[in-house]
Structures are given as C-alpha cells and as structure tokens.
Amino acid sequence: MKNRYLAIRQYSEKICAPLQKEDYVVQPVSDVSPPKWHLAHTTWFWEEFILSKYSPEYKRFHPRYSFLFNSYYDSVGERVLRLHRGNMSRPTVDEILAYRSYVDEHMTSFLSAASDTITPLVELGLHHEQQHQELLYTDIKYILGHNPLFPPYDENFKETSFIESDSTFAAIAGGIYTIGHHTSGFSFDNEHGVHAIQLPSFYIRKSLVTNEEYIAFINDGGYKNPLYWHSDGWAWVNEHKIDSPLYWYKHDGAWHRYALSGFEKVNPAEPVTHVSFYEAAAFAEWSGMRLPTEFEWEAACDAFQWRQRWEHTNSAYLPYPGYTKPPGAVGEYNGKFMINQMVLRGASVATPADHSRKTYRNFFHPQLRWQFNGIRLCKK
Amino acid sequence: MKNRYLAIRQYSEKICAPLQKEDYVVQPVSDVSPPKWHLAHTTWFWEEFILSKYSPEYKRFHPRYSFLFNSYYDSVGERVLRLHRGNMSRPTVDEILAYRSYVDEHMTSFLSAASDTITPLVELGLHHEQQHQELLYTDIKYILGHNPLFPPYDENFKETSFIESDSTFAAIAGGIYTIGHHTSGFSFDNEHGVHAIQLPSFYIRKSLVTNEEYIAFINDGGYKNPLYWHSDGWAWVNEHKIDSPLYWYKHDGAWHRYALSGFEKVNPAEPVTHVSFYEAAAFAEWSGMRLPTEFEWEAACDAFQWRQRWEHTNSAYLPYPGYTKPPGAVGEYNGKFMINQMVLRGASVATPADHSRKTYRNFFHPQLRWQFNGIRLCKK
Amino acid sequence: MKNRYLAIRQYSEKICAPLQKEDYVVQPVSDVSPPKWHLAHTTWFWEEFILSKYSPEYKRFHPRYSFLFNSYYDSVGERVLRLHRGNMSRPTVDEILAYRSYVDEHMTSFLSAASDTITPLVELGLHHEQQHQELLYTDIKYILGHNPLFPPYDENFKETSFIESDSTFAAIAGGIYTIGHHTSGFSFDNEHGVHAIQLPSFYIRKSLVTNEEYIAFINDGGYKNPLYWHSDGWAWVNEHKIDSPLYWYKHDGAWHRYALSGFEKVNPAEPVTHVSFYEAAAFAEWSGMRLPTEFEWEAACDAFQWRQRWEHTNSAYLPYPGYTKPPGAVGEYNGKFMINQMVLRGASVATPADHSRKTYRNFFHPQLRWQFNGIRLCKK
Amino acid sequence: MKNRYLAIRQYSEKICAPLQKEDYVVQPVSDVSPPKWHLAHTTWFWEEFILSKYSPEYKRFHPRYSFLFNSYYDSVGERVLRLHRGNMSRPTVDEILAYRSYVDEHMTSFLSAASDTITPLVELGLHHEQQHQELLYTDIKYILGHNPLFPPYDENFKETSFIESDSTFAAIAGGIYTIGHHTSGFSFDNEHGVHAIQLPSFYIRKSLVTNEEYIAFINDGGYKNPLYWHSDGWAWVNEHKIDSPLYWYKHDGAWHRYALSGFEKVNPAEPVTHVSFYEAAAFAEWSGMRLPTEFEWEAACDAFQWRQRWEHTNSAYLPYPGYTKPPGAVGEYNGKFMINQMVLRGASVATPADHSRKTYRNFFHPQLRWQFNGIRLCKK
C-alpha cells in the first residue's frame, strides 16, 4: 500500500512537470482549478481525514491550509470560494511541493504501521487523488488552450490512442441485467446498491462519433435548428454563441483545434471530444438516433472498446436503490451532487490506468465541455 | 366535444373573474406569466394548430398575434422573449377577450363539422388549456402574493380541501410494476412507453408533510446545515437567503403566509406547500427518510389520497423507453424539456377536475416553488 | 395659488387620458416608472410634506401608501425598490385616482387658509409635479414605443413644433458672465449660488443637429469607430449593440421611428432626439466640433431658439459655489444626485409651459436616452 | 535621456523584485492588472509607438505581443479584454523580462542617435511607465492584500512618510487664479489650456483626515445614514456591504489593516487611505464640511504638505477650455476618459519621485479605492 501510495502521489507531480510556474496559478473559469490547487487539495485530504485523525502526534504543516484547500466539504469548515482560487498567488508552488513532501513523509511512516481498518479510507484517498489527476490534465488543457499563444503541453501527448474502424452496431438482447458494482475491488458508494433492470433490446454503435460526422452536423445547420435541441440547450447555444466543440477554431476555411500536443488541424477520423451533453443529445437527434442510458451502456459495454472518451448517457445522476450517504464529512463525497447532473460512462485518455471499471459513474452538469468526453449512438 | 370545448374555454375566463384589469398585466419573475398572456396564448394554440391549418377560409384575428403569443414553439417562428411579456400593456384585456370570442366562434363552427382525425389535436388543445388554468391560479397567486398590500384573490378559496389524519406508512410489496399510461383516455406522449420496473419493497407515508413538521425542520436549523442539502441546493439557499417556504413571513413571532384567500396565520395541520425540490429533499434527509421515485409513487398511489399537492419525487424528467417526439411543432410539447427538471406526481387543489391521473408526469426545475407542491416521505 | 394647484394637478391626469388601464402598470426598465406610480407619487408628496405636517386633523388616505409611493427620499422610510414598481398591480388606477381626489380636496381646503410661510414648499410641490409631467410623457413613450404593436399615444402629438432654418453659428464674446438664478420667481436650489465665470469667446450653432446630419454620422461609420467615443461610451455601444437613436428602426431600407403620434418615417429636417450623452459627444467629435459647457449655454442661449430638446452639455452635474442642502428630507431633492450625471439645458416639447428658464439644470446619467434631448454644436 | 530611460525602466523591475513568480500572474478584479502585464505593456509602448515607427530595421520581439499587451488603445488593433489578463499564464515572467531587455537594448541604441523631434514622445513614454509604476505598487498591494495569508510585500515599506501635526485651516483669499500647466517641463495634455478661474475665499485644512477621525465617522453610523451619501454612493455601500476602508478588518475588537509592510493595527494618527470618492464625500458631509474643487486645490496647495495621498476633489474629470486630442492613437491617452470620473490631486507615497506637480490631474471612477488616496477638508 505504501508503494502504491507513493506511485500515485508521484504521478500527480509528474503530470505537472511540463508546466511553468505561472501555469500553476490561473483559473479561467470556476470549474477549472489552478494546478497548484489540485496538488494542495489532494494533500489536504490526507492531512484532514487521515493524519490529523489517526496519527496522534501529527502536527499540521500550516494552520491556514485546512481553510485554503478544502473544496466542497462544507461540514469541515469554511472554505475559499471556488471562484477565488485563481486569485491566490500564495502559497507558492514551491511551498505546496514542500507541503506534499511533508505529508508524504508522514503518510509513509503512518502506512508502515497502519491497521487494516484504515485501508478503505486510504483507498478512497488514492482514488480521490486519481480523480484529480484526470482533472489536472483537463484543467491544464483549459488553461493553455485559452491562452492566445496556444502553448503545447507535451508535443507527444496523444488524445486519441487508436482509430476505430468498425462503425457497425452491436445488437443487445432485451432482458434483466444486473446494474452496479458486484465484484471485488474498490468502488465508490454511488455504484453500490446492485439492482436488476429490465431492458428492451437495442442497438449500440461499436465506434464513437467521429470529427467527420460531427462536422457534417455543423455543416447541416445543427447549431441553428431548435428542433434538435433541448429547450435549456437551445438557450445555452444562443446565450454563449456556441457553434462548434470547445477548442475548435475555423482557420483558413478548415477546422483546427487546440490539443495537449498543440494547435493542429482537426483529424476527421478521430472521435469527437469536448462536446456538452446538450450537443451530444442534439447530434443524436439530428442523426435520428439517441444516447444510451447508463444502464444500457453498462449492459452493452463488452461489445465495444471504450477507454478513449467519457461517453454521454441520457441518465441523470441519481442514487441507486438503497443508497445512503456514509456518516460524517466523507459522506459529502457523492450524494450531494445527485441533482442537475448527467452520468457519463467509460473512461478517457486522461483517466489513470487503474482508475476505470464498467460500473464507474462519472457526472457533470449538461453544459460542461472541458472533459475528454464523446458520443456513442444507440437506436431502437 | 363542442360543449366540452366551451366549458373548458369558459373556465379559463372564470378563473380570472376576480381580477382587476391591472392584475392581468404584470410579470414579477420570468416563470410567472401575466394572466392576459395565458388567455391569449391558449387562444393562439387553437388558431395556430387548428383553424389556420384545417379551416380553409379562416382569417387570423390579428396579423401580429402569432408572434406575440407563441410561447416555446421555437419552430413556429420568432417569439416575444419570456421575460418581456410583462412589459406589454397592449393588446388590452378587452382586446384579448375579443380575440377569445372570435376564435371560440370559429372553433364551435369548426367542431360541428370536424372529422374524427382532428380529435387528438383538439384533445391536446383542451389539455393544454387546462395546464394553463393551473398556471393561472399559481401565477395570480404570485402576482397578488408579491404585492405589498396582499390583496386576496377570493376569500373563500380553500388551498387545502381536507386535513389528513392518518400519518402511518403503507407497506408496498417489492416486485414488477407496470409504469406508464396503459388504459383508455387522453394522455401526454411523456406517459407512453409502458414498461416494467422492478421495485424493492418500501414504505410510503399516507399523509403529506404538514406545516407543523416543516416548522420543526426550520426550528432545528434545517436551513443552516449543509449536510441536509444537495450542493446546488445549498448554493441556492445561500444565494437567495431562503429560510422558509415561499409566501411565508414571520410576523409577531408566528409564521404567516399569503394564501389565495388572503394573508393568514399558518395552520399547523395543513400540508406544507410552495417548497422547492431542494427543500423537499433536505427535509427528507433531515427526517432520516427520502422522497419516492416517480415509479414508486405510481406503484403506491392507490394507498393514499393524493389530489392536494403536486408531490416531489426523486426522479429526473427523462423519456420512457421508446419515446419519440411527434413530428412538427407539436413535437416540441414535452421532449425538449427532458433535462434539468424533476418529476412531480399527483395533482393539486388548482388542477382542473378532469385533468389528473396516476400516470401524469409534471416537471419543474428543482429551485421552483410557485406551484402547489408538497412532500411525501418514503423509507427503506 | 389654489387655482394654480388645481390646474397643475389636473394636467397630470390629462396627460394620461389617452391611456388604457393596462398602460398605467408596466415598467419596462428601471428608469421608466409606471404612469400610475407617477400619479400616486406626486400625490404622496403633498400628503407627506404638507398635509401630514401642517394640517393637524388630516388623516392619511391609506396607511401603506407612504411606503409604496416614496421614491428616493431615503430618510423618510423604507421604500419599494425602483425596479419592483412595475410588479405592483395594486393599488389600481381607480384607487389612485380616488387618492388624488382625496388629497386634492384636503389641499384645496388647506391652501385657502395657508400662511405665506408654506408657499415655498407648495411651490416646490408644484414644480415637482411638473417634473413628473415631463416624465409621464417620456415614460408613456417608452412603454408604448417598446410594445411590438407600436400603439400611438395621440396621433396629433407633435414632437417637433418648428423646423429650424438658420444653421449658422452665433459668435459669443469672451468675458465674465454671471451664472445661476438671479431674478425673481421660483428656482431649484441647484441653480442658486450665483457666481461669475470667465469664458473665452466661442461660436454656437443656432439650430440643433438634424436627423439628416445624424444619419450622415451613422452612414460614415460613426458607431463603428472608437476614436469618436469616450472609453465608457465605446463599451456601452458594444455591450448594448447600439447603432442608432432610441426608437429608430431600419425598415425597407429607410430609417423609421416610433413617435408619440405613431410609427413613421424619420423626417430629415427635424432635430434628432433620444440620443445619449455618449452619442452626442461622439457626434460632436466626428463633426470636428464639441458640445457647449452648461456655462457657455447659459451665456449664449439668447442667441437661439431653445425649447424643443433638452440639450446635452459637456458639464458634470456638480454644486455651484456655496451650495448647501436644505435640512431634512427635502434636502435630498437635488444634492444627492450630484455625481455621475451630466447637465442638460433648455427644455423640450414635453416640458410644461411655465416650467422652463435659462438657468434650469436638468441632469441624467450619460447612457440614458428616453428624454427628448438633442445636440447643439459649439466650436473654438 | 538614455540614462533617464534606463533608470526609469530599471525602477519598474526593482518594484517587482520582492515578488514570487506566482504573484506576477493574478488579477483579482478587472481594475487590477497582473504585474507581468504592467512590465510587458510598458515595453509594448516603446515598441509600438517608437521602435516600430522610427527605427526602420527594428524587428518586433514576438508577432503576437502587440495584440497581447495593448491596453486601451482601441485604434491600434484588437486587444485582450481587460478582464482576461489574469488568465494568461504565458508569456512567462522570464519571457517578459527577455522582451524588456530586447526592447531596452534597441531603445538605448535608438536614443543615442535620436533627433530632438522624437523627444516629446519619449517623454510621454517615460511618464507612461511612471504611471504604471504607481499602479504596480497598488496592484501588488491588492493581490497580496486579498490573499488569505496576507504576505507582506516589504516589511520596511512605509505607507505614511510623516505624521501631520497641524490640523488648522489655511485661509485662501478669493480672486482670480490661473489654472493649468504654465511652467516649463513635461505635462500631460489634460493640464494644458491654461485659464483663469474666479474663486471665492475659502478655508482648507492643512492636514489630511486621520484614521482616528475616520473611525469616529464609522462609530457614529456614517455608513448607515443615507443623508450623508450621494444616491449612487448609497446604492454602492448597500450593494457591496461596505463598512470601512479597503483593507480594513475588525479583529479582536480593534481595526486592523493590510499594508505593504504586512497586517497590522490601524495607527490612529496616520492619514486614512483607500476610501472611494463616495466615502470621502460622505465623510465630508458628516463633518459639516466639503471636499475642495480641483481648482481650489491647485490654488491652495502651497499652504500644506501634499505628497502622501492622492486627494479626492469634488471636480469631474473634464477638458480644460480649448482642449483637443492629439491626432492618432496617442490621442486616446487622456481625452477618452473624460466622463464618469472624478479628479484627484497631489501625489502619494507610491508616486515616483519626479512624477508629481501641482497641476497634475489624476482621475478614477468614484467607487474605486485601491489607490493611496485620502481626504482633505474644505469649508465655507
């Protein structure tokens, strides 16, 4: 466990290695956090929920950090409002790296002697840090991709690991399916509450929607016709003058995009990404098909390859039967978000290798686009 | 059908009878429409979807009304933005009543000779008008209840038709339940797609949460403790400084409220009303219970009396399996709202008598409170 | 004085005679008040500052009206926020007219026996009512002119009483000029503090800028070139997408406008109106000239005819030397507005006949356009 | 001139020496710019207005910097919106320092051979850089003073250079005074247009209002009584819940403040600072006195010491008689700001030593507080 702890902790810092000090600080929109905030907040988790509770002699690194790096845990105390994170030039990156070293040192001692009863909380902390690793990638992309100079993050970063060649549909038989995490290994509380679901038969496409297909939707007036859109989606398109995926720019008559490897022409064969739920649903409507529910996705996911994009579903993020929040502040982890968000299934190129499973329920508000998400179509 | 048409049309005007001309005009918030707008918009439905399409010699009453009284039917043409409705002093109430007479006259001729193929569209128009009748009550309440003089609408109006005495829980057996409209009679497209649902056994309370119980929640700091609230709900409470249901005022140490019968002391025994989904969910969390899903509600509703309040459920408003939008502008009726809204089940004191059924799916954004809604608890 | 009182009071109601009940209620933007609010607020002035103070047996018409119809007199008590006035359907127009009758009856008795010491306050009340008469015209125009049906107010209303034929410049000699009200008759406190000003010689145009000249500015890209604009004005143009005066619409290739007499083609020979200070200043910059200061205007105004438009000046609304606020709530009348506003001089077609004088200082925020204002050019 | 150029350029970098890289990046509010933006923008001035125009072989350091570091010069080209400056992590501080070196190198060569005709533009550039040096101090203070850790900028920085002991009033005789820059040496165009002003006699206080006096205003309910405030000021106080100067915090019952030297108790004897025009005017009203006009200030300023605070005046920032903008982009320097702003006179502890004179006209919107401003009282 100690080795896994250290490996995961080091990976967070490795993600940030290509950054300049200045890149760690900014927060262009409220959903994007400064990279140094992620590095500090994940460290705060260990200090707050493990060291300060279970390690009697532990002295906190700094008396104000609990206030500064708390995120949504309202019951732990006041917190710095999310939209002010980007105004905090201090603590500096070096101070936060020192904070990380200090906590890592104490955690490694602690883990050497820790009893098994603490293991579930350590596991939660590790998965929490992995969730922020994915956010580090997407937040860094937002920061560099909104800079007028479009600096590459890493010229060798591949946002698409393979081109899908099979765009046929898999036929999924109707019947009773078991939904939820029912094997061994870690899972979040939102995956518990295993239950049976009756599904009619349906077809699901083996490949994700490509950039080429999405450009056809644009060219066919997809962003101009209210009949394809949800009412709230249509209001969003018009208020924000949306006419293409996030990071796309029309330049010399051709679509270009910012990728973590730099500014480049859109490759028609790659799966489209950085589209909101609203756009995914409108695209599906335009194509005469629909998005799968999260239950259909879970029932069907062995029939296709799925680790390139978080896949929009037409399911709201709601509790499974019998869901109850764990007691205390850790109980705020998932349940409080079960309103106004839609479920995405699968994993993306930015998801840490051992942080995905069929039953994983990711969730975002329907207008958000900065994750590596994508569109899988369903019919009948 | 002609008689039913006239009866329903006259009821819209009867609801408005106690109003002064000035009351017909104002729009205090975007979700509330001026009463004269409702009277005109329901009339526009008949002109737009029936007379102008199926009655060849019909001449529109006024060339601009189609533009003015369109609501959300984006595909029909431009429309007056919802938040500007309250700035339109013209057409006057008298002009709109003349518009109603004109259309009613043509509709009665038309219905005398109409073929059966038109019946479903007429039925839709009648149910559409009944939906706006409920909105007339709630919008009038909002307009008068936000006037510093608190003028009564009708001193004899009863917002609670009976006091519930049985607060025990009904036990509902687990099993397979059929969900959706599967009997004869009118229903909206969002109730179609009958499907089976597997439900675990659960308990549901026979009576709604009362004002007395809700005051206990307030007094116990319910609006002050983030642990009871969804994250978005907590942000809403704090941004809008919510501390009690809509229309409630603490006056001389006691809770008072505006009702359609006037300003009065809160009656502890009546079912609480005018609470948002956020408040309903927080109350349920505080009470150690939960809200039912819309499927549980439909499975259980024969076990209790349910026509006093629209009952919050923990289900998002999403399509049933196999849902497809009808073609054309009428297709915008329901499907485009299937995002960001929660389902309410049942009916309220403001619902027209023949406009309710077990499978009816009402829906609102989770922060809205101006409907006659209420809270039914569920457990295990 | 009693006759003058009644004449002025009746004129307020005469202005409203062409309105429908519904027109009295709406408030499309915060600067525009509903006509019934003007009728009530001017009545409140008499009740609050005269009857309730100097008429011992006077009983207020309604206990809540003091709260409802107070405007900016913060020291008198709480008040209904300006932007909620348009949500108040009650009291009705008829109730407000009854309020006016009641107060008029008591005022006429009171004035029959009033001592001379009260005369200045009565004078202030009469001029206050006349100020609201001008606002009644401009607010009614805003309400009807923003209605998609463009209903005329009065087809015989002339917004321009004469066409100016002499567009030459008057030469005004440099020298010492006396500024401020120094003759007999009523004046506001902001005109007091008579003082000498040294002015260089300058030229001022005898006629106002016409619609034809203003169209030349538009056609020359006046709204597109930042060099003509103040920085705040340029931001305002871009944020609100301003491209022509208020009430102007391009229709079939020609400029049209809403006037109190109805929708009509813009007459090139009339003086332009409904332009903000920002637009007036940009026009002057484009024409290679400038706006006069309020002192230049006062020194020069015998050289031209000036009762058609309030004329923008390049003077900020600030106190004259030695200005002090009268004690008490009446002291709030003028001084509290002496920031962020620019002075307009002259009078307009909507100004009551005996409510203008050379030294009158009108004032508005620089972005406002709904008054009958205009542009007079000055040079060297 | 070359030496002066280098001395001024180096001073900009010296001001930033105590900063961490992270401090250079953030922009907590739109009026505050990131320090690295100031370092780049001042450099851009030399490149844009001198090197690229008058040095034929000069090659720009980077093709995009003209776009990035333009500020308000709308006629030069598009520009990065002011409120996005703080989202730009690139170019980095090191890249901007390289840009400075590159431009300085070319400027020193250029200045060695420059003709006298260029001198006025170079002078303007030097004074422009000095203006940004003062902004560097105040923006750095805002950034560090809004960080929850309150890091000191420089523990030895003195915000008050001397305590004033003489709080009597100087009597200034009435008469004709000459206003505007009429001696040799540099001045901005807004000081030109020398003209005579007739002033009545008045009294002006020799010392600035102290913290002790300002606390008395607070304790007497100064922020609670609308009668002391302008209407717009009262709205500002209530909307932003203002109850003390910027950077003040009540801690353990005593007023503390953030200063560039760190968090400390408020010293009662020091002149109050960081108050808006609204607060200065309300304080003056409360004290039964008033603020001087800018003309009174200029006439009286030999009678007191005045280099500690920018002193609020009751004069709007408007052109002097005969003012005309210089042609071209440099013409945007001053004239476009002559609306909605009030004049401050004097200089502050943050003003570069040779960058002040009696006729200097500084100007800010009336709600702004982040400059080192102060209050001087006047009477009769």
Cβ atoms D238, D225 nearer than 8 A: no
Domain boundary among the residues D81, D113, D145 is at D145
Q: Is residue D127 part of a domain?
A: yes
Q: Is residue B23 part of a domain?
A: yes
Cβ atoms A112, A2 nearer than 8 A: yes
* Exposure string for C55-78, b = 16+ CB within 10 A, e = fewer: beebebbbeebbebbbbebbebee
pLDDT band at A240 (very low <50, low <70, confident <90, very high): very high
What is the structure's pLDDT at B295?
Answer: 98
What is the structure's pLDDT at A290?
Answer: 98
Percent of chain D with pLDDT over 90: 88
Which residues sit opposite D203 in a β-bridge?
Answer: D171, D379
- Do residues D23 and D132 share a domain? yes
- Do residues D137 and D197 share a domain? no
Helix (H, G, I), strand (E, B) or coil at D200: coil
Cβ atoms D152, D257 nearer than 8 A: no
Q: What is the mean pLDDT of residues A133-153?
A: 97
Nearest to C310 by CA among C262, C272, C264: C272
- Do residues A124 and A186 share a domain? no
ipTM above 0.90, yes or no: yes
Does D276 lie at the interface with C, CB-CB under 8 angstroms? no
Residue pLDDT, tens place only, D151-177: 999 999 999 999 999 999 999 999 999
Does B87 lie at the interface with C, CB-CB under 8 angstroms? yes
What is the structure's pLDDT at B333?
Answer: 78
Domain limits for position C18: 2-145
Q: What is the mean pLDDT of residues A351-364?
A: 96
**Would you say residue C78 has pLDDT above 80?**
no
Does A138 lie at the interface with B, CB-CB under 8 angstroms? no
What is the structure's pLDDT at A245?
Answer: 98
Q: What is the mean pLDDT of residues A332-336?
A: 84
- Token pair recorded at residue C363: 């004032």
Chain A CB contacts of B230 below 8 Å? 336-339
Q: What is the pTM of this model?
A: 0.95
Touch between B and D (at least 3 CB pairs under 8 Å): no
- Do residues B102 and B230 share a domain? no
* Exposure string for B97-120, b = 16+ CB within 10 A, e = fewer: bebbebbbebbeebbeebeeebee
Q: Is residue D158 part of a domain?
A: no
Task: Identify which of A64, A67, A89 has the shortest CB distance to residue D20.
Answer: A89
Q: Could B144 and C24 be called an inter-chain contact, meaning their C-beta atoms sit closer than 8 Å? A: no
Cβ atoms A105, A114 nearer than 8 A: no
What is the structure's pLDDT at D181?
Answer: 96
The DSSP code for D371 is S
Residue pLDDT, tens place only, B216-251: 999 999 999 999 999 999 999 999 999 999 999 999
For chain B, how big is the Rg over CA atoms in Å? 21
3-state SS record for chain B = CHHHHHHHHHHHHHHHCCCCHHHHCCCCCCCCCCHHHHHHHHHHHHHHHHHHHHCCCCCCCCCCHHHHHCCCCCCCCCCCCHHHHHHCCCCCHHHHHHHHHHHHHHHHHHHHHCCHHHHHHHHHHHHHHHHHHHHHHHHHHHHHHCCCCCCCCCCCCCCCCCCCCCCCEEEECCEEEEECCCCCCCCCHHHCCCEEEEECCEEEECCCCEHHHHHHHHHCCCCCCHHHCCHHHHHHHHHHCCCCCCCEEEECCEEEEEECCEEEECCCCCECCCCCHHHHHHHHHHCCCECCCHHHHHHHHHHCCCCCCEEEEEEECCCCCCCCCCCCHHHHCCHHHCCCCEEEEECCCCCCCCCCCCCCCEEECCCCCCCCEECCCEEC
**Would you say residue D41 has pLDDT above 70?**
yes
Q: What is the Cα–Cα distance from B374 to B369, expressed in whole angstroms? A: 10
Q: Is residue A151 part of a domain?
A: no
For chain A, how big is the Rg over CA atoms in Å? 21
Q: Could B143 and C67 be called an inter-chain contact, meaning their C-beta atoms sit closer than 8 Å? A: no
- Do residues C23 and C122 share a domain? yes
Give how many domains chain B has, as a whole number.
2
Q: What is the Cα–Cα distance from A366 to A346, expressed in whole angstroms? A: 17
Residues 6+ apart with CB under 8 A from B235: none
| Mean pLDDT score of chain C | 94
Q: Is residue B164 part of a domain?
A: no
Task: Identify which of C25, C89, C148 has the shortest CB distance to residue B64.
Answer: C148
- Do residues D242 and D135 share a domain? no
Q: Is residue A347 part of a domain?
A: yes
Residue type, D316: A
Question: Domain of D197: which CATH number?
Answer: 3.90.1580.10
What is the structure's pLDDT at D176?
Answer: 94
- Do residues C132 and C198 share a domain? no
Cβ atoms C363, C197 nearer than 8 A: no
Q: What is the mean pLDDT of residues D282-294?
A: 98
Q: What is the Cα–Cα distance from B372 to B375, expressed in whole angstroms? A: 11
**Would you say residue B77 has pLDDT above 60?**
no
Does C6 lie at the interface with D, CB-CB under 8 angstroms? no
Which residues sit opposite A205 in a β-bridge?
Answer: A169
Q: Could A319 and B314 be called an inter-chain contact, meaning their C-beta atoms sit closer than 8 Å? A: yes
Q: Could D339 and C232 be called an inter-chain contact, meaning their C-beta atoms sit closer than 8 Å? A: yes
**Would you say residue D143 has pLDDT above 90?**
yes
Phi, psi angle pair for C49, to nearest 5°:
-95, -15
Q: Is residue B96 part of a domain?
A: yes
Cβ atoms C96, C40 nearer than 8 A: yes
- Do residues D173 and D141 share a domain? no
- Do residues D210 and D312 share a domain? yes
Q: Considering only residues 327 to 366 of chain D, which have any Cβ-Cβ distance to chain C shorter than 8 Å?
A: 331-332, 336-340, 342, 366
The DSSP code for D117 is G
Which residues sit opposite B172 in a β-bridge?
Answer: B202
Q: Could D22 and A151 be called an inter-chain contact, meaning their C-beta atoms sit closer than 8 Å? A: no
Q: Considering only residues 22 to 51 of chain A, which have any Cβ-Cβ distance to chain D shorter than 8 Å?
A: 22-28, 36
Residue pLDDT, tens place only, A29-56: 989 999 999 999 999 999 999 999 999 9
Count of C-beta atoms within a 10 Å radius of residue A346: 25
Residue pLDDT, tens place only, D81-135: 777 888 899 999 999 999 999 999 999 999 999 889 999 999 999 999 999 999 9
What is the structure's pLDDT at C76?
Answer: 58
pLDDT band at D233 (very low <50, low <70, confident <90, very high): very high
- Tokens 């004239």 sit on residue: D335
- Taking CA–CA distances from B142, the nearest residue in chain C reads C87
Nearest to D77 by CA among D85, D69, D67: D67
Chain B CB contacts of C92 below 8 Å? 20-22
Q: Which of C19, C36, C84, C90 should one mutate to test binding to chain B, selecting the residue with the greatest count of B CBs within 10 A?
A: C90
**Would you say residue C77 has pLDDT above 80?**
no
**Would you say residue A270 has pLDDT above 60?**
yes
Chain D CB contacts of C319 below 8 Å? 314
Touch between A and C (at least 3 CB pairs under 8 Å): no
| Mean pLDDT score of chain D | 94
Q: What is the Cα–Cα distance from A215 to A283, expressed in whole angstroms? A: 10
Domain boundary among the residues C102, C129, C145 is at C145
Task: Identify which of A226, A316, A339 has the shortest CB distance to residue B318.
Answer: A316
- Do residues D132 and D259 share a domain? no
- Do residues B141 and B175 share a domain? no
B119-145 helix and B35-46 helix, angle to the nearest 10 degrees: 170
* Exposure string for B307-334, b = 16+ CB within 10 A, e = fewer: ebbbbbbbbbbbbbbebebeeebbbbbb
Does A367 lie at the interface with B, CB-CB under 8 angstroms? no
pLDDT band at D334 (very low <50, low <70, confident <90, very high): confident
- Do residues B105 and B221 share a domain? no
Q: Could C87 and B151 be called an inter-chain contact, meaning their C-beta atoms sit closer than 8 Å? A: no
Q: Is residue D156 part of a domain?
A: no
